[in-house]
Structure 1
Amino acid sequence: MDRVDRGRIAVFMSTSGHSGVDRAMRHLIPALAGRGYKVDLLKVRRHGPELAEVPAGVRIIDTGVRTTYLALFALIRYLRRDRPAVLLSDKDKVNRTALLARWLARARGTRLVLSSGTTISIDLQHRGAFERWLQRTSMGRLYRHADQVIVTCADVADDMARYTGLAREHIRPVESPVVPAQLFAARPPPPEHPWFVPDALPVIVGVGELSARKDFETLIRAFARLRARRTCRLVIVGRGKRLDALRALADALGVAADVDFPGFRTDVYAFMAHAAAFAMTSRWEGLGFVLIEALACGTPSVAVNCPSGPREILGDGRYGPLVPVGDDRALADALERVLDHPLPRETLQQAARPYEIEAATDAYLRAFALPLRAAGTHP
């Protein structure tokens, strides 16, 4: 086996800058450095992830190109020169590039870990025929040459194996680093919003891009049903192309005065922590970070049983009701139940504990086949 630097981890990414992968890497990379590993982030120009601060032990390497495939040559040179113990990549195009680079660099000693964070059979329904063929074929035939394929949850693993033909035992569900430890311990102050003041009406909160995939139409219809039975309000935090359509729907249902869209907010944890209930209505997910974050805040939560993530996060309904996708009547009933009989904060937080950053870092290191090391370890 090739000699490698057992203390070095390489992360090869080409992300949008605001995806779930970006959020996970902004947590994982500093956490790995905090365990005493040297972490090299190899980036395609004008792509994420972006680190707010570059901690000690982390090196940002510009591949010098603006497209993933052209980064191949820089990646080959890096693997030949630095010989990391592990190379982690994410997304199919990036994964294919990483596979080819390791082969051409003859870096057999570097453990290659490919990541995928979406329910692939559903995600590819919205792609062209060639893209569907390409990704399905690469996952089914090429990913077996990686040392490990990691995904966000067991349902995503099952879907990938079923859809692509990749052996299920080669796919490992690994918890994502979503929640900082302090969120479990301290409740953030209320957001600056007129509906989050003492003795105000109960507020239901949804968070996410205002897109068809997130299906906030179902949440608004469910809220209209619930609002007919009890006094409450709805806040949907996020921005997107569906804003005007969602406002029009709330107006048509007669609840516009009790529905607010504050746009993108950096204090989203404050909205979650002070909500009476949280709702996630996505048509599909790779996991569902916002649901985990709401539970970490101790907020009673309801989710649609979409592929994939909510069923596992909510423990098959143990930590909150699961309702069918697009069923506003069932969602309204479930919201009413959690408003009337909320689970204790500590119980709800148990569901989010595996996704705490340091706990998830342990899970990643196991997938990397590297020692866990205690936080605060120095190289």
Structure 2
Amino acid sequence: MPGHTVGRSDVVIVGGGAAGLSLAHCLAESGAVTFILVEPPDGPRRPPERTWCYWERGTGGFDEAVHTSWPLLRIHGTDGDELTVDPAPLSYRMLRSTAFERLVHARVARSPGGRILRATADIVRNTAGGAEARCTTPDGRTLTLGARHVFDSRPRHTLPPARTQLVQHFRGWFVRTDTKRFDPAVAELMDFRVPQPRHGLAFGYTLPLAPDRALVEYTEFSRTPLHTAVYDAALTNYSRDILKLGAFTVESTEQGVIPMTDARFAHRIGPAVFRIGAAGGATRPATGYTFAAIQRQSRAIAAGLHDGHVVVPPPHGGRARAMDAVLLRALDTGRIDGPDFFTGLFRRVPPERLLRFLDGDTSPWEEWGIGLRTPIGPMMRSAIELPFLPRRFHPVPRMGGNKR
């Protein structure tokens, strides 16, 4: 069918994942610009339901969509030693993508300048007067959306060259037990009692949803993802032999992979086209957390557009990226023991400060103090050699979407 051009708007947002939805929410709240959010239609291009976790103080703008939250965090070392911490005033929160989408869609529907379009974005490009996105609708029509600015959150087909690239890959079961097995107040953030791989690290991750329901997950930081059968075997062992859940039913699953890389992500691809979200480097290289950085970036973009200019700050500052590059190198070379490293941080650093550090919200003085509580020799050796290492292209992992 022949295509046609849709009237020009201030902003087009491409992609209905965490980044696209978050920016649409901020623009709807601001009300300063007109915008169209382009989401993939139902079908193979539309991702399955996902889980996004983050920590936040007090109440937030997404409270009505928060599925569950936990005031306490627990870490288990490889030796079985248990540490439960209270990161107050922060709490750990879970959003399910379907609930978040409903919240944002309702907010956009109340915004006079916002609109949602179900279509497949085929081409995004700069033009003489701004930018445009060429899309195909579910009935086969071709639409060209003109705008002053386009913010593209679609996953990259290739990643920028990096000195180090690991992947955080995981599979989770939403389980229901026959008896009450979980403490709804405590999230098991890292349980290193699972068998450790030869290269990298592995941990269990348990988020109670009720006394008899939880998301139970097996996660690895390593170079390549595993086959589904291997994850299921690890989850069976973790659920049966470590958590001792007894009889349970798997109600649904989730699976994904997150690149952990010291690549340099350009977030601008021309005068009027910008990458946002994981495609623009929002994933924290050393932890895989993405959602909180997306919120910071979305708020900054909305504030800039409100003031009449575009501001797309890097999702993570230079200090955070440099520290993460050192840690990734130390993990990849095996110079540090991953489980000992992370459990040591939780034992030696106040939990609220440590979570702010993992989120990139600490001062240089606080970061210096945290650095002194890490294995200084291996970290220094990794830092010294980094400038001499070449950046090269790595394969793009293909197994799923962002967890955090």
Q: TM-score range by the shorter chain?
A: 0.3 to 0.5
Q: Give the strand-richer structure, 1 or 2.
A: 2
Give the TM-score taking structure 1 as reference length: 0.36
